[in-house]
Structure 1
Amino acid sequence: MKNDLVLRVIAKLLIPFILLFALYVQFHGDFGPGGGFQAGVIAAAAVVLHALIFGLAATRRIVPEPLVETMLAAGVLIYAGVGIAGLLLGGNFLDYFVLSGDPVYGQQRGIFWVEVGVAVTVSGVMLKIFYMFAARGRDEAAEDA
């Protein structure tokens, strides 16, 4: 598929809109269906589409594996950081109302950051799984040669 001009042009047009939709799902998750999990999967799907059209090597240059592994840890740290911030501010773990002087705003702030952590982690996990499966056949072929 790397040499198919139509697929390359369509992918270049669609991938930014897919990522934009992932952001919409992330930020709209407080008010309707969606949130961190869905946004993370959609963002990872955009990267997988890039890999299918432009090749795994090109995608790994854009989203290298160390970045994906960092995303795995960073998302969990963001999630846990919100909980620890609640503890340090006098509430329970993941009690969002203490994150601001206004309890309602604190809830919104806490849920937003938890969803960001979930999106980063889910996207990282999906990409790590894809990279592992995509490289699996190549490693075995190299060992056989």
Structure 2
Amino acid sequence: MMQERPILRIGAKIMTPILLLFALYVQFHGDLGPGGGFQAGVLFAVGVILYALLVGLERARRVVPLSVLLPLSALGVLIYAGTGVVSLLLGGQYLDYSLLAHDVHHAQHLGIFMIELGVGITVCSVMLILFFSFAGRGR
């Protein structure tokens, strides 16, 4: 498979950390420009999938086990929903970010960051759950 193709193997070794780093960049700058949680989650999952193709499915499952992915998918949804609930508890509407900090600008930034973080965690973990679920079925 990948071991028989040294150019692909070396290219994947070079691209995987760059892809993961770019996913973090998209995640943390998504509220200021193009990108955000969904795109970052997909990029990060693709980086892990490329790693799985490089080293093998079983080794990738040991690095990112299902016992970590399932709670992460729930955590992402809880971060998203929790941001809205905090807004409600502070007297605003659901996902009304203006009450989350001392001024509106910081509150908007914090609210969007939390929403995008929740989306990114959920998208990445669900994509990896689907990949690991379907990747081992062909054996």
TM-score normalised by the chain length of structure 1: 0.89
Q: Percent identity, aligned pairs only? A: 55
Paired residue for 1:101? 102
For structure 1, the 5+ residue unaligned runs are 139-145
Counterpart-to-counterpart distance in 2, 1:79 and 1:53: 33
**Matched residue count:** 138
Structure 2 gaps of 5+ residues are: none
Residue in 2 that maps onto 1:3: 3
Deviation at 1:2, TM superposition (A): 4.4
1:19 aligns with 2:20: yes
Compare 58-67 and 23-32 and name the one that shifted more: 23-32
Q: Does 1:74 align with 2:97?
A: no
Q: Which residue of 2 aligns with 1:143?
A: none
- Matched residues in 2 for 1:2 and 1:17: separation? 19
SS in 2 for 1:128: helix
Paired residue secondary structure (2:124): helix
Query: C-alpha offsets along residues 9-51 of structure 1, whole Å, 9 cap, x if unaligned?
Result: 3322221110110011112211221000000000000011111
Q: Are the counterparts in 2 of residues 82 and 114 from structure 1 also a CA contact under 8 Å?
A: yes
Alpha-carbon distance between aligned partners in 2 of 1:58 and 1:9, rounded to the nearest angstrom: 18
RMSD, matched Cα: 1.3
